[in-house]
A and B are shown apart, each in its own frame.
Chain A
């Protein structure tokens, strides 16, 4: 069965610092996708960034970027110049057959 593991339950960083959230996954698919979702205190789930496994280039969305290591099955999220509004739960996820499976999440606190 495919799994998604986030090894950091909780992290705190100072505003304006760079922070990296870790994710490892296991999959038997040859072509697959990986996602990072953000869940702020409002509870809404927001897709932050998406990576296609067959693309070697790491995805980037403004201050958010990923480090995708296909051979190591690692998919970390880097947040640059962190802002107070980045305080949230972050979930790593990947499709498994006809559904998407999620890691247990990392709670990120951005400190003023």
Chain B
């Protein structure tokens, strides 16, 4: 049981480049979310999904796209990377009730230069 798998673990991008952060879970969780973590800001929600084909915006969605074509996968796309997107990104998943909290991936450290 792998849990939540994020790839890559580290990435350096140039301003204006695009890329996709991958997230996959094998727990048949319906809910999945992407957060970014910046010093002093805690975890801020970017996008979330309550099931395949359904996504919604969180607190800081600008500059990011998501899709949820399967229950297992929830990729996060950076359309045109900016230095302000330098951060640590976490993917998380949960059963529908959210009563047992999220299971988190190990995070992706992204640097945009």
B60 interfacial contact with A, CB 8 Å: no
B88 CB to nearest A CB, Å: 7
Known: A33-B98, A44-B104, A104-B40. A99 touches B88 (CB 8 A): no
**Are B90 and A99 in contact (CB-based, < 8 A)?**
no
Binary A-proximity of B69-113 (CB < 8 A = 1, otherwise 0): 000000000000000000010101010001111101011000000
B99 CB to nearest A CB, Å: 5
Known: A43-B107, A45-B104, A104-B40. A99 touches B45 (CB 8 A): yes
Majority SS at the chain A contact face? strand
From A39, which residue of chain B is reached at the shortest CB distance? Answer: B37
Chain B: interface residue count, which band?
Answer: 20 to 34
Specify which of A37, A43, A47 is in contact with B106 (CB 8 Å cutoff).
A43
A33 to B94, CA, bound (A): 14
B interface residue numbers (CB < 8 A to A): 31, 33, 35, 40-43, 45, 48, 50, 56, 58, 88, 90, 92, 94, 98-102, 104, 106-107
A interface residue numbers (CB < 8 A to B): 9, 33, 35, 37, 43-45, 47, 50, 52, 91, 93, 95, 98-105
User: Can you give 8 A-B contacts (C-beta < 8 A)?
Assistant: A45-B90, A52-B99, A91-B43, A95-B98, A99-B58, A99-B98, A102-B35, A102-B43
